[in-house]
Amino acid sequence: MKYITINEEFDWRMKIFNSLPFPSLILTPEKVIISANQAFLEKKKTDLNNVVGKTCHQIFYDTEKPCAEAICPFYKVIAEKKPQSILRRTEFNGDEEVWVDRMFSPILDDRGDVKFIMESVRDASRVITLEKRSIHIRQFLDKVIQSSPNAIITADRNGNLLLMNQAAERLFGYSMEEAIRTKNAEDFYPFGKAREIMKKLKNKNFGGEGTLTATRVDVVNEAGEVIPVEMTANLIYEGDKEVASTGIFYDLREKIAAEKKLKEILIQVAQSEKMASLGQLAAGVAHEINNPLTGILLYGNLALERVENDENPVRRYLKSVIDDAERCRDIVKNLLAYSRQASPTKEIFQVNSLIEHSLNLIRDQELLLNITVVKEMSDEMMLIHADKNQLSQVIINLVMNAADAMEKKGALTFRTYRKKPLKKVYIEVSDTGCGISEEHLSKIFDPFFTTKETGKGTGLGLSTSYGIIKENGGQISIKDTSNRGTTFLIELPLYTPDEKQSVLQNN
């Protein structure tokens, strides 16, 4: 068969073909090359004579065998008379892969049949590399998002979830698949809150339009638990169009717990310091008052003996003087206990026996008549090494306070238990009284702090108790208080057999 070779005659078409920047060939439908442009010859470092008359598989793959129909676009170009292309990795150039995009365009004759096919080879390595890099970046970003310790969720404009990282799965308790299938972003917040957050996000006053700076909110997990978090959020735009939103959540539970603990410790420290300085003062004052008081009581009683007539008003006056002086003596006694002048006499005993002993002492008190006493006491071995009389004083103080708070009717519950690994014994005293207001909470262990009317309370009960418990190696605190009642918690060191032995030996 004879073909016209375009390059043999001066032809403007030939000029266009030659000036194409991509290596290009013109082939017959039988895949025989009839021309190659300048770019092709330069790329292949050959001349036209070595190319013309050969087939494309000879030139590209150095084989006599045509490529399989399934992968060669030639057949489709002829059948559909439309351009086709294939992407091929042709070689490795060092580390770099070389990819080419081979475009096949039909050249039709006057009848509309495919007469020739022009093949252009374009280097696609750059595009492929960029694509690979973008996949790599996407995978890398995915890893960054997944490894964030903060929970991240992204949702479209209607709240349909698009992404959830592992921390979000842990925080909310759903797998990403499950959440995408069954949840809307609104479900992650208490009712109505998601809308509020969206409003803030669109308002420029909370970090600029489309941004929400760190804000404290609540979220709801799979179990319906409300979890405090700090959240930041962003709207994601494509051009001007808002397409999605992303929220980043920092779980505040641990932080809040740590802050609470720290506050408790600071209160304890402040309390101890206050007690120490007030203790010294109290001891001094008590000491100074004790002597004149002894005189007052002595001479008061002597004077009383002299006034024999019961009708004499002086007798009444003297009795008042003596009553008040005795009250002062009690206060001084309490002050001395508080200032730890009285040193404890320690013994080993069961905690439950302490409760029984204390209750026995006040059993007949009028103020306990309408109070139901509940005992939830563990029958485990709970020995302590402490001053039983002092501790009884603490229990009685608590009972008296509880009775006052309940206005003499209600339930008084004693709970005892131990935590062996911590080597601790616990006594809880709960009442169903009025509770302690927030403003009084930090003061109730202060000496002379009382809310009771003059004559009814000196405000020394709890401060003395505090001193006694400290003296015996423990702690006293308020476990819980509300208008439904108050629970005091006493913590004491558990006595273990080894220590018991050593103490017995020491005695």
Ligand X SMILES: Nc1ncnc2c1ncn2[C@@H]1O[C@H](COP(=O)(O)OP(=O)(O)OP(=O)(O)O)[C@@H](O)[C@H]1O
CA dist list (Å): 59 to 27, 49, 53, 342, 411 = 12, 12, 10, 111, 102
Q: How far is CA 165 from the centre of its chain?
A: 16
Q: Which is nearer to ligand X, 84 or 481 (CB)?
A: 481
CB-based burial, 345-381: b 16+ in 10 Å, e otherwise: ebeebbbbebbeebbeeeeeeebbeebeeeeebeeee
Q: Does 405 bind ligand X (CB under 6 A)?
A: yes
Question: Could you tell me the smallest distance in angstroms from the CB atom of residue 298 to ligand X?
Answer: 26
Residue of this chain nearest to ligand X (CB atom): 461
Q: Does 397 bind ligand X (CB under 6 A)?
A: yes
DSSP 173: -
CA dist list (Å): 499 to 169, 343, 354, 418, 470 = 49, 21, 20, 17, 19
Question: Could you tell me the smallest distance in angstroms from the CB atom of residue 462 to Mg ion?
Answer: 6
Question: Could you tell me the smallest distance in angstroms from the CB atom of residue 464 to ligand X?
Answer: 8
Q: How far is CA 336 from the centre of its chain?
A: 47
In the list ligand X, Mg ion, none, the entry touching 181 (Cβ below 5 to 8 angstroms by class) is none
In the list ligand X, Mg ion, none, the entry touching 436 (Cβ below 5 to 8 angstroms by class) is ligand X
Nearest residue to 199 via CA among 210, 191, 189: 210
User: Are the beta carbons of 82 and 104 closer than 8 angstroms?
Assistant: no
Q: Which is nearer to ligand X, 307 or 367 (CB)?
A: 367
Q: Does 335 bind ligand X (CB under 6 A)?
A: no
Q: Which residues bind Mg ion (CB under 5 A)?
A: 401, 461
Q: Does 271 bind ligand X (CB under 6 A)?
A: no
- Cα separation, 52 vs 32, in Å, equals 8
Question: Could you tell me the smallest distance in angstroms from the CB atom of residue 388 to ligand X?
Answer: 20
Q: Does 5 bind ligand X (CB under 6 A)?
A: no
Q: Does 452 bind ligand X (CB under 6 A)?
A: yes
Residue with tokens 């004052």: 285
Q: What is the 3-state secondary structure (H, E, C) of 369-412?
A: CEEEEEEEECCCCCEEEECHHHHHHHHHHHHHHHHHHCCCEEEE
Candidate list 189, 458, 476, 492; residue touching ligand X; CB under 6 A: 458
Question: Could you tell me the smallest distance in angstroms from the CB atom of residue 476 to ligand X?
Answer: 11
Candidate list 66, 210, 228, 459; residue touching ligand X; CB under 6 A: 459
Q: Which is nearer to Mg ion, 120 or 401 (CB)?
A: 401
Candidate list 66, 173, 228, 457; residue touching ligand X; CB under 6 A: 457
Containing H/E element for 460?
Answer: none
Residue of this chain nearest to Mg ion (CB atom): 461
Q: Binding segment for ligand X among 38-46, 106-114, 121-129, 444-452 (CB under 6 A)?
A: 444-452
Q: Which is nearer to ligand X, 91 or 330 (CB)?
A: 330
Q: Binding segment for ligand X among 71-79, 163-171, 364-372, 457-465 (CB under 6 A)?
A: 457-465
- Cα separation, 31 vs 57, in Å, equals 8
Sheet of 24-27: strand order equals: 33-36, 24-27, 114-123, 96-108, 84-93
Q: Does 37 bind ligand X (CB under 6 A)?
A: no
Q: Binding segment for ligand X among 66-74, 138-146, 185-193, 432-440 (CB under 6 A)?
A: 432-440
Question: Could you tell me the smallest distance in angstroms from the CB atom of residue 411 to ligand X?
Answer: 12
Q: Does 433 bind ligand X (CB under 6 A)?
A: yes
Pairing of strands 485-493, 424-430: antiparallel
Q: Does 451 bind ligand X (CB under 6 A)?
A: yes
Q: Does 472 bind ligand X (CB under 6 A)?
A: no
Residues 44-49: contacts with CB within 8 Å, 24+ apart? 48/7
Note the residues at the interface with ligand X (CB under 6 A). Answer: 397, 401-402, 405, 431, 433-436, 440, 444, 449-452, 457-463, 486
